[in-house]
Amino acid sequence: MSGYGLTGRLKAAPGEQITLIQPLHGWIALNLREIWRYRELLFFFIWRDIKVRYKQTLLGASWAILQPVFTMVVFSVFFGRLAKIPSDGIPYPIFSYAGLLPWTFFAAGLTNGANSLVRDANLIKRVYFPRLITPLSAVVGGLPDLLLAFLVLIAMMIYYGLFPTLASVVWLPISLLLALATALGVGLWLAALHALYRDIRYVVPFLTQFWMYATPVVYPSSLLEDPWRTLYGLNPMVSVVEGFRWSLLGQSEPRVSMVLLSLAIASLLLVSGAYFFRRMEPHFADTL
């Protein structure tokens, strides 16, 4: 602030808002306080995404249920029935569906987050708001879909007679937070890169596909022997899917060391993604 003392003639009365516009170089502070001030806009963006997503579809929001249910049916027939992949003693349909829910949320969040800046390019080129809001709303906006699909899971749990214990169910929100952080972290990296390189559009589908096979969605991680099973936590989605499944169905408790490793990786992704995004932010309006 002292740097401007020499020339600064414009001064604010108490309670008045003075906006300082200056060059941004290198690593820029995240400015989370400003995002808090713009929280209404964040909600408006999420609300818009949800409204628009199903506005012109025939079946509307039931897609949020149909998609994972049909995938579950296909998986059950091919991986469960034909390939006879083990499922830790849980019936394969509910095993794969419980894995698909956090996975679908993550994959959709990552994809929408990666495409968010390009999709909202018209806004970004014409009006100011903290740009972090764009990918943030895209990732968080997947939660209602998850909630809808969750209703089916509850029905399946009743059908199969599988119920969680109180102790394990606390892992549910933690798993989801971990999924959110990972999707946002990777989404931030990809969104910022997407503004500069349009290749990202083609990278994302490959990335999510490979990532799914590296995550125990269709198979249990108990297939792995010990040192590898902990290292498996390098992929935070392993802890997410295992934690989600365990918290509800109660079979094969995840290892603490694996979860800690996942937490560390997810935090690293999130923090580095946010700072990388902020670093690239000054260029967005010019490159989009």
Residue 51 engages another protein in binding (rule: CB under 8 A):
yes
Task: Based on the shown chain and the rule CB under 8 A, indicate whether residue 58 belongs to the binding site for another protein.
Answer: no
Q: Which residues of 144-169 are buried (b: 16+ CB within 10 A; e: fewer)?
A: bbbeebbebbeebbeeeebebeeeee
Nearest residue (CB) to another protein, 56 versus 167? 56
CA distances from 23 to 1, 11, 132 (A): 14, 20, 18
Q: Does 286 bind another protein (CB under 8 A)?
A: yes
Residue 100: Cβ-neighbour burial (10 angstroms; 0-12, 13-18, 19+): buried
Site mask for another protein (CB under 8 A), range 167-196, x = bound: -----------------------------x
Tell me the closest approach of the beta carbon of residue 14 to another protein, in angstroms.
Answer: 7
Q: How far apart are CA 43 and CA 6, in angstroms?
A: 41
Least distance CB 54 / another protein (angstroms): 10
Contacts 24+ apart (CB under 8 A), 199-208: 200/114, 201/115, 201/118, 204/110, 204/111, 204/114, 204/115, 205/111, 207/110, 208/107, 208/110, 208/111
Q: Which residue has the tokens 């401007």?
A: 4
Rounded to an integer, what is the distance from CA 145 to the centroid of its chain?
Answer: 13
Interacting residue with another protein among 27, 163, 197, 213 (CB under 8 A):
197
Question: In whole angstroms, how close is the CB of 23 to another protein at the nearest point?
Answer: 5
Closest-CA residue to 53 (of 159, 122, 144): 144
Residue 2 binding another protein, by CB under 8 A: no
To another protein, the closest distance from the beta carbon of 192 in angstroms equals 14
CA distances for 275 relative to 30, 271, 272, angstroms: 7, 6, 5
- d(Cα 273, Cα 106) in Å, to the nearest integer? 16
The one segment of 1-9, 95-103, 183-191, 210-218 that binds another protein by CB under 8 A: 1-9
**114/180 with CB nearer another protein:** 114
> For another protein, which is the closer residue by CB, 55 or 84?
55
Calpha distance 169→163 (Å, rounded):
10
Paired tokens of 247: 């918290």
Tell me the number of residues near another protein by CB under 8 A. Answer: 44
Give the nearest distance from C-beta 45 to another protein in angstroms.
Answer: 8
Determine, following the binding rule CB under 8 A, whether residue 82 of this chain makes contact with another protein: no
Binding mask 115-134 for another protein (x = CB under 8 A): -------xxxxxxxx-----
Burial class (CB in 10 A: 0-12, 13-18, 19+), 54: middle
To the nearest whole angstrom, how small is the minimum distance from the Cβ of residue 284 to another protein? Answer: 9
Q: Within 217-276, which residues bind another protein (CB under 8 A)?
A: none
Q: Which of residues 7-26 bind another protein (CB under 8 A)?
A: 7-14, 16-24
Contact set with another protein (CB under 8 A) = 1, 4, 7-14, 16-24, 40-41, 44, 48, 51-52, 55-56, 122-129, 196-199, 281-282, 285-287
